[in-house]
Amino acid sequence: MAETLMPVQVCYATPDEQRLVSLLLPAGSTVADAVRLAMPDIALDQHRVGIFSKLKTPETVLREHDRVEIYRPLQADPKDARRKRAKAT
């Protein structure tokens, strides 16, 4: 019997580019499996991940049509950035 494959997407954005990779993975695959296949240059220990804007762990098992999102670390504290913008106006 043939192994069932499910479609998933992995996305990652930087200020300069956006990457979206579509994959067909076997049932039971995890977020980490998808990221390793789609974007091997991404270090999972340095990035947070989610599915449809909900934080998940790399061990989370994927479902059909999930969109895995790789989140970059914040460059600045949002509260500090807001204060600086308020002072500038």
- Domain CATH for 40: 3.10.20.30
**Domain of residue 36, residue span:** 5-88
Name the pTM for this structure: 0.80
Q: d(Cα 12, Cα 38) in Å, to the nearest integer?
A: 10
pLDDT score recorded for residue 56: 98
Q: Lowest-confidence range among 43-52, 57-66, 77-86?
A: 77-86
Q: How many CB atoms lie within 10 A of CB 89?
A: 4
Containing 56, the helix (H) or strand (E) segment is: strand 54-56
| Count of structural domains, the chain | 1
Q: d(Cα 22, Cα 76) in Å, to the nearest integer?
A: 31
pLDDT score recorded for residue 2: 62
